[in-house]
Amino acid sequence: MLRYILNKLALIVPTLIGITICAFGFVRLLPGDPILALAGEHGVTPERYEQLKVQFGFDRPIWEQYGHYIWDALHGDFGVSISTHRPVVTEFLALFPATVELSLCAIIFAILLGIPAGIFAATRRGTVVDQGLMGTALVGYSMPIFWWGLLLIIFFSGYLHWTPVSGRIDVQYFFKPVTGFMLIDSLLSGQKGAFHSVVMHLILPTIVLGTIPLAVIARQTRSAMLEVMGEDYVRTARAKGLKARRVIGLHALRNALIPVVTTIGLQVGVLLAGAILTESIFAWPGIGKWMVDSIYKRDYVVVQAGLLLIALIVMGVNLLVDVLYAVVNPRIRVQ
């Protein structure tokens, strides 16, 4: 098992190197000057401009800037934001709970609807129900997040007035964050109506962010169920006269969930990528919106550090899923 984990860790190293190169190079390909963006409409004198270049290290050669960036990152120093003058890690940790809360709600929404939909489609293979569910899943997977989000806002917020347009909670509620998770903090605050307000703000972003994972989970569940239902032990269970519900739930579903669990773990990257658009649409104060705002400000330090931190989280979750998969299925370790 240890050898299996070490092999997986060895594969992460070149991936991380590639990500650092892409993150470092991407921000420098953006048009505009970070110092001029920081100065704003008031501008900056040539002398002050040169001072700021030296202060932020932009006067050094590119290869030296990259080496300094890698050296600091290896020591846990991801730099200081050009625009806010705060450590990037501090800002990341302050905003990350909002993204985690939204992502957790989205994946729970996707699991609660995706797995039953996949089972229902598999047990009715080839019928109108099967084709309708899988067709809907394909549409959900193909739907652009920004268009889907705006459509829901127009209908549910603009036309029906059922849900708020943006934010995490109504402005009438104010309390000091304890955990950073608004669902928990609203309950701890004891303010009447605060928890309901948080839930209402979560509904539309959760649906938008969870639509693509829902479609993927539904299709993967259907595929895994169809494969398992053709196995000998399932046919034997049916031959014994067991009820269809028991055969599906006890014998088929338990074995079909192994690849589904892996698929759910792989959706972490999809959720974090989708959060960038979702948080921008709904003005959700998470790392996605933080990254987009940093790009507009040409804040090189935040963008390259944010991309690296997000990549580390995604790879960490994927490694955990691989290890859990190997624990559940020992044949993976042997291979």
Domain total in the chain: 1
Q: Has residue 143 been placed in a domain? A: yes
**Neighbour-count burial for 48-72, b at 16+ CB within 10 Å, e otherwise:** eeeebeeebebeeeeeebbeebbee
| Chain mean position to CA 148 | 17
pTM comes to 0.83
Are 68 and 301 within 8 A, CB to CB? no
Q: How confident is the model at residue 117 (pLDDT cuts 50, 70, 90)?
A: very high
Q: Has residue 291 been placed in a domain? A: yes
CATH number at residue 237: 1.10.3720.10
Q: Has residue 56 been placed in a domain? A: no
Q: Has residue 225 been placed in a domain? A: yes
Q: Has residue 108 been placed in a domain? A: yes
Are 95 and 287 within 8 A, CB to CB? yes
Segments forming the whole domain that contains residue 236: 90-165+203-296
pLDDT tens for residues 255-310?
788 788 878 877 877 787 788 889 989 999 999 889 888 888 888 888 888 888 88
Q: Has residue 320 been placed in a domain? A: no
Place of tokens 């705060």: 86
Q: Has residue 267 been placed in a domain? A: yes
Report which of residues 243 and 287 the model is more confident about: 287
Q: How far apart are CA 261 and CA 265, in angstroms?
A: 6
Are 123 and 247 within 8 A, CB to CB? no
Q: Has residue 238 been placed in a domain? A: yes
